[in-house]
Amino acid sequence: MTTAARPRRLLHPLGCLCFLVVAAFAASISSAAGRVVTSLPGFDGDLPFHLETGYVEVDEDAGVELFYYFVRSESESESGDAPFLFWLTGGDRCSVFSGLAYEIGPIRFVVEPYNGTLPRLRYNQNSWSKVSHILFVDSPVGAGFSFSRDPKGYDVGDISSTQQLRDFLIKWFDDHPEYLANPFYIGGDSYAGKIVPFIGQMISEGIEAGRRPFPNLKGYLVGNAATGESIDTTSRVPYAHGVGIISAQLYETILGHCQGEDYTNPANTLCAQALYTFNNLIDEVQHAHILLDRCVYASPAPNVVSRMDGSDNRRILRAEMGRGMLNHPPARPPFGCLTYRYYLSYFWANDKRTREALGIKKGTVDEWVRCHDGDLPYTKDLKSSIKYHRNLTSRGYRALVYSGDHDLLVPHLGTQAWVRSLNFPIVDDWRAWHLGGQAAGFTISYSNNMTFATIKGGGHTAPEYEPERCFAMFTRWILNNPL
């Protein structure tokens, strides 16, 4: 593996210039590791938004560097004090590019059959960057373009990777002090929803201890968020029953025999049998969105040929592999599946032109994959994040907890249950919230500045399925307006 350059500060190449000139030159550069990207391969013309990419080193001993995409707010009138959103993505070690290109960011893939040429991009009219700066980071190390020079650096977990994110933010804002005063929010979905309140806790403690530089934390938001608690998975049973996936008899059997059982490894034989039937039934639907067709999940596979469908697919992938470009192409979903855009991202991100445009360090990530598949070590040592939700909101920080209402992975029933367990008084009882004169979901607000909302028609990553509704929800909430 080629060793990449480590320095975070740039030095003037001419040694004859005095120190003051060198210092002035360095100070004029917003980020030593960052670059402004004005165009992207596959996007027609210059980008209509400001994009910066770069790395921040968070473990000097192991040489761990986290890669980021920073999109400046597109609202010129608010650019000085626009909200600032720090966005994370779930796992297993999924690249934050998913957030940038499928969920809340300003680019989208043009979904068209892949023919071996570079996939095309277009602008997203529902980008959250219309009202907020967004800093996307590939975390934990090993996700996306983040890397470690020492293989031991990839052995992280909930706690250590969150500490690295805290260090990332301190160094990033040290290089970008102009954003320190902006209202700062942390956001993420799926497994990242477990990390968001934990890093919020770390930042709030740093602020209270008077450490600098820390951003101007105002709150956080999580979507279909994991907590680490059993409710994340046990809530699938009443949800599946409520939407007609399992029978009333099976539902009653599980309730009767699985009380207090570990749903992933039940000791009770009758419970195990019932859950076996349950899992077979829910596998008949798409877990991330129960109304969509089941599609091949576009992730890396050791046996490429066994995961491909169609002679044309094999021809294209083998041609790519024959050129020595791609080692683990994902399965090719049927065209029309939502996962087809994931398939396109693999070829886009691994193209030499893309890597050059983004400033990817050579020899660091030989092959980009959207998500990993258990091939890198990770310790789930944060048992529950619920107490951090309580701590942050009790300290006055705002919170938006939202759920796509068609998600079977982390159903809204489980999220509602742990939100209610906080026992906050209700200040605005359950009601519909609207867009275009129609209900876009339902919401309830509690004291301690916590709001829960559902997204009608949303799946596990709600903005991916209902971008217009989620943009409306985010815009209202981040600007302190009622949903």
Catalytic annotation present for 460: yes
Residues with Cβ within 8 Å of 227's Cβ and at least 6 positions away in sequence, in order, are 193, 194, 384, 385, 386, 418
Q: DSSP string covering 231-296, please?
A: HHHHTHHHHHHHTTSS-HHHHHHHHHH-TT--TTS-SSHHHHHHHHHHHHHHTTS-TT-TTSPP--
Distance of alpha carbon 64 from alpha carbon 376, whole angstroms: 14
Q: What predicted TM-score, i.e. pTM, was given to this entire model?
A: 0.88
- At 311, is the pLDDT very low, low, confident or very high (cuts 50, 70, 90)? very low
Tell me whether residue 165 is exposed, middle or buried, using C-beta atoms within 10 angstroms of its C-beta: 0 to 12, 13 to 18, 19 or more. buried
| pLDDT > 70 fraction of the chain, expressed in percent and rounded | 86
Looking at residue 326, its pLDDT comes to 63
> Pick the residue with more confidence: 53 or 27?
53
Per-residue pLDDT reduced to its tens digit, 131-178:
999 999 999 999 999 999 999 999 999 999 999 999 999 999 999 999
pLDDT score of 302 more than 70: no
176 is known as an active-site residue: no
Asked if 122 and 481 count as a contact pair (C-beta separation under 8 A), the reply is: no
Give the Å distances, CA to CA, from 307 to 115, 149, 310, 457.
18, 31, 10, 30
Name the catalytic one among 31, 98, 127, 190.
Answer: 190
- Rounded distance, CA 193 to CA 187, Å? 8
Residue 309 has pLDDT above 90, yes or no: no
- Give 319-329 pLDDT, tens digit per residue: 333 334 567 78
Average pLDDT across the chain, whole number:
88
The predicted-structure confidence for 89-112, as pLDDT tens digits, reads as follows: 998 999 999 999 999 999 999 999
**Position 76 pLDDT exceeds 80:** no
Query: ∠ at Cα 347 (222, 289), nearest 5°?
Result: 35
Q: Does residue 313 surpass a pLDDT of 90?
A: no
Largest CA distance in the chain: 83
Mean pLDDT over residues 271-291, rounded? 97
What pLDDT score does 341 carry? 94
Closest CA to 157 of 133, 139, 134, 179: 139
Parse the chain into domains and list their residue ranges. Answer: 35-227+379-479, 231-283
User: Which residues 6+ apart lie within 8 Å of 98 measured at CB?
Assistant: 89, 342, 370, 371, 461
Average pLDDT, integer, range 111-130? 97
pLDDT confidence of residue 297: 64
Q: Is a pLDDT exceeding 80 seen at residue 32?
A: no
State the average pLDDT over residues 191-205: 96
From the candidates 59, 158, 351, 407, give the one annotated as an active-site residue. Answer: 407
- pLDDT at position 14: 35
What is the average per-residue pLDDT within 275-300? 89
Q: Confidence class of residue 34 from pLDDT cuts 50, 70 and 90? A: confident
Question: Of 241, 289, 389, 460, which one is the catalytic site residue?
Answer: 460
| Amino acid 301: pLDDT | 39
Q: What is the pLDDT of residue 328?
A: 74
Q: Is 407 one of the annotated active-site residues of the chain?
A: yes
* Beta-sheet pairing, 51-59 with 35-37: antiparallel
**pLDDT tens digits, one per residue of 426-436:** 999 999 999 99
Report CA dihedral (105, 110, 113, 118) to the nearest 10 degrees.
-80
pLDDT band at 278; cut points 50, 70, 90: very high
CATH number attached to the domain at 35-227+379-479: 3.40.50.1820
